[in-house]
Amino acid sequence: MSVVSGRVLRSRADRYSVRWHPRTLAVCGVLLAIVVAVGALSLTTGTYPVGPDRVWATLLGHGTRIEHFIVVQLRLPRVLTAILAGWALGMSGAVFQGLSRNPLGSPDIIGFTAGAACSAVLEIVLLRGGPTEIAVAAVGGGLVTAVVVTLLSAKHRRLTGYRLILIGIGIGAMLQSVTTYLLTKATLPDAQSAAVWLIGSLNAVGWGTVTPLAVSVALLTPLAILGGRALGWLALGDETAKGLGLPVQRSRYLLIFTGTALAAVTVAAAGPITFVALAAPQLCRPLTRGSGAQIVPAGAMGAALLLAADFAAQRVIPSGQLPVGVLTGALGGLYLCWLLAREWRSGRS
């Protein structure tokens, strides 16, 4: 049983308390500083460089028309979308890894991202919906997939992490096959549009993407943070958690909804960007050295990872912009191989 360390802040009436860890706060501060630094660099550099003083003046409304277009209309929405999407993916990965007690527990591995992507492609290819309809279809598809996987994973009305991962991988493979079939039956323009969307990209995001994503993340973040405490109790075992007054199954279902919704709104905004949710919780854990789900550090790590990956993706090919999903997929594949090799070695030892 792990011992929870840290300091506790209590209200005067002693009704509410918040446990905080100085090292975790320091790690979150460093990650947020990286986000600010990379975000500022993204706003100033590019095909049309804009100096830091001109960026600041433009954000205050004193820039020229071309500076306003480049900074406010093109670069700022992209930076904010990367931060919000990375934050949501990091928290989603932390939720599912805490639920499954497995480092492979992430929405893209379990199949929830595949459900959102399949539903969105169905909307693109068959119904030919616009951006709003595609976003709604992605969120709905992710949630429906979560319900199916959860129901199939429940054994004797108890949800086990091992079954959740295995059944999720199987459902995800089936949904990916359906997505591929839909692409083969689509017209060339629809297939091209769907294929570009499936890569995962921030190239075409605007304020119409930022606003609903920000609202969704703002609503779901408190649920994820509150769920982190439930994850700590669940890690002690169902009977102990029940003895502490936690409604075990209800808490699990709420956590699954929250984690799936965080991943689904990200897919709706930028397509299925892979492996950020898988890597962010694992990368922040040795830095914080804390127990529990580490929801907030994972969100900060996800924001830093995705923003840095998008900054690099724009500059890998000098003549064009590489979709960020290509870069995260390549790096994530290497990370997954390393993770599996580490688990295999630890299993043998």
Structure confidence by residue, pLDDT tens digits, 167-204: 888 888 899 899 888 888 888 888 887 887 788 888 88
Instruction: Give 4's DSSP letter.
Output: P
Q: What residues contact residue 286 under an 8 Å CB cut-off, 6+ apart? A: none
| pLDDT value of position 253 | 83
Phi-psi domain of 46 (left: phi exceeds 0; alpha: psi -120 through 50; beta: other): left
The closest of 233, 292, 278, 256 to 5, measured between CA atoms, is: 292
Tokens of 43: 């706003």
Residue in the structure block whose two tokens are 């700022």: 76
- pLDDT of 4 > 60? The answer is no
- Amino acid 298 reads A
Q: Residue range 214-228: average pLDDT?
A: 91
pLDDT grade for 5, boundaries at 50, 70 and 90:
very low
pLDDT grade for 215, boundaries at 50, 70 and 90:
very high
Q: What residues contact residue 2 under an 8 Å CB cut-off, 6+ apart? A: 235, 291
Instruction: Transcribe 9-49 into DSSP letters.
Output: EE-TTS--EEEE-HHHHHHHHHHHHHHHHHHHHHHH-SSS-
- pLDDT of 307 > 80? The answer is yes
* Least confident window among 68-72, 90-94, 239-243: 239-243
Tokens of 38: 């990379």
20-342 maps to CATH 1.10.3470.10: yes
* Mean pLDDT estimate for the chain: 82
Question: What CA–CA distance (Å, rounded) separates 64 from 69?
Answer: 9
pLDDT grade for 1, boundaries at 50, 70 and 90:
very low
Tokens of 41: 């660099």
**Do 336 and 278 touch, CB atoms closer than 8 A?**
yes
The closest of 173, 130, 126 to 149, measured between CA atoms, is: 173
Say which residue, 299 or 105, is predicted with more confidence.
299
Question: What CA–CA distance (Å, rounded) separates 35 from 215?
Answer: 20
Q: Which one of 157-171, 192-206, 220-234, 257-271 scores highest in mean pLDDT?
A: 257-271
- pLDDT of 218 > 50? The answer is yes
- Where are the chain's structural domains? 20-342
Question: What CA–CA distance (Å, rounded) separates 252 from 234?
Answer: 9
The closest of 127, 251, 125 to 198, measured between CA atoms, is: 125
Spell out where the chain has E strands.
7-10, 17-20, 154-155, 158-159
Q: Which one of 17-31, 120-134, 238-252, 316-330 scores highest in mean pLDDT?
A: 120-134
pLDDT grade for 323, boundaries at 50, 70 and 90:
confident
- pLDDT of 144 > 50? The answer is yes
Instruction: Give 244's DSSP letter.
Output: T
| pLDDT value of position 142 | 87
- pLDDT of 286 > 80? The answer is yes
Q: What residues contact residue 137 under an 8 Å CB cut-off, 6+ apart? A: 119, 120, 122, 123, 129
Q: What residues contact residue 331 under an 8 Å CB cut-off, 6+ apart? A: 275, 309
Tokens of 144: 């429906």
| pLDDT value of position 2 | 38
- pLDDT of 162 > 90? The answer is no
| pLDDT value of position 308 | 92
- pLDDT of 14 > 50? The answer is no
